[in-house]
Every structure is written in structure tokens, then in C-alpha cells.
Amino acid sequence: MRGLLAAALLLSALTAPPEPVERAVWQDCAALGGYAALLDSSLAASPLTDVASPLRGEMRRPPCEGCNPPAYIVTDAEVEALARLLYGEARSCTVEGQAAVIWCVLNRVDSGDPYFPDTVMGVVTQPSQFFGYHKDYPVLPELVEVAEDVLMRWNVEHSGIVENPGRVLPREYLYFSGDGAHNYFTREYNGDDVWDWSLWSPYRDD
């Protein structure tokens, strides 16, 4: 039943008349129909629901021709690497805390800092960085789901079609340390400017 609901939502998103959107980029994306409206509703809700799931098949591709593309196409191996990273670094954390770890990786990818690789796999496997990652850690479905959700939001952020897709960690936060239950994110290595979780989060009810 849930599979039928997801399929129906996706079909509706791809066939419904386009909603008026201020950004001019959507004027060239009529073939996507109600995709913009579905994004608005699903990104405002909990990302780990049936409402959001029909979008996950699109998460690694630009939302439409003419939109700004993501940094590059994320591979299945990189999604699994992110899930393994979450297993080692954040499996006891809240979903919001797990999402922040993924955003930290993506912040490094986007940083332009020559010290950091510009791919997800490069960042995750960079020596002496994420000690919680190991290639033999299990790939748990619930952690894959978190990684895919954040990647979808990252893709939407790069496209420029939604102002706030649900980023829970600012771009300048590139480091974190943890105590097993919580991770503490900072701008600098061993910095004291710990992130205060003040951004709106799609993973909280408040």
C-alpha cells in the first residue's frame, strides 16, 4: 500500500500543471509539472516519510534542464560510504545529528579548500580525518535513508530552486568531534565555536 502511495505521488508530481514560482528557472522546466510544489511540501515535512520518498530517485540529478547542477553526480558507492561513516560516527545520534555529519562532509566537498578533496568518497576516506569510517562497516538501510535525504536536499540547494531545503549545519562548519552520543561541530580544527543548532531543522517538530 505504501509503495502504491509513493508511486501515485510521483506520478502526480510529474504530470500535474506547474505551480507558479518566482524563480525564472522554473519557466524552462514545465515538463516537471508539480515538482516544485511537491518539493515545497516534502522538504518542509519530516524527510523520512512516504511523502518525501518519491523524490529520492531524483536526488542525484539536477531537478530540471536549465537549473544549476549539483557539484557532481554522487555514486551508489559514495552513498554507502556515507552510511558507513554514520555507523562509525553517529549511529547513536539523533537523525538531525546524523544529517549534520553528512552536511559536514558536503561542506568540505564544496569548500574549495585545496586541503579537502572535492568528492564525497575523497572526503570520507581522506587519511587522518574521519576515524569513525571503515570500509567493512555495515550499510544499514536507515543510515542510507538519512544520507540520501541529505543528498537530495544538497542537490536542491545547488539547483537554487528552494531557498532553504533543510540544511542543519552552516557551510563554514568543516570539523566535528564526538563523545559517542553527540557530535560537536566547529569551523576550525579543535575550535571552540561549537555549532548551536539554531538553524531550522526538518527533523524536529518545533
Among 43, 46, 45, 37, smallest CA distance to 59 is for: 43
Q: What are phi and psi of 191, to 5 degrees?
A: -75, 165
Task: Give me the pLDDT at residue 2, please.
Answer: 37
Q: What is the pLDDT confidence band of residue 143, given thresholds at 50, 70 and 90?
A: very high
pLDDT tens digits, residue range 172-199? Answer: 999 998 887 899 999 999 888 899 999 9
Residue 179: exposure state from Cβ atoms within 10 A (0-12, 13-18, ≥19): exposed
CA 4 to chain CA mean position, Å: 25
* pTM of the shown model: 0.70
pLDDT tens digits, residue range 73-107? Answer: 889 999 999 999 999 999 999 999 999 999 999 99
Residue spans of the domains in the chain: they are 2-58, 76-186
pLDDT tens digits, residue range 104-120? Answer: 999 999 999 999 999 99
Tell me the three cell numbers of residue 5. 502511495
Q: Is the pLDDT of residue 27 over 50?
A: no
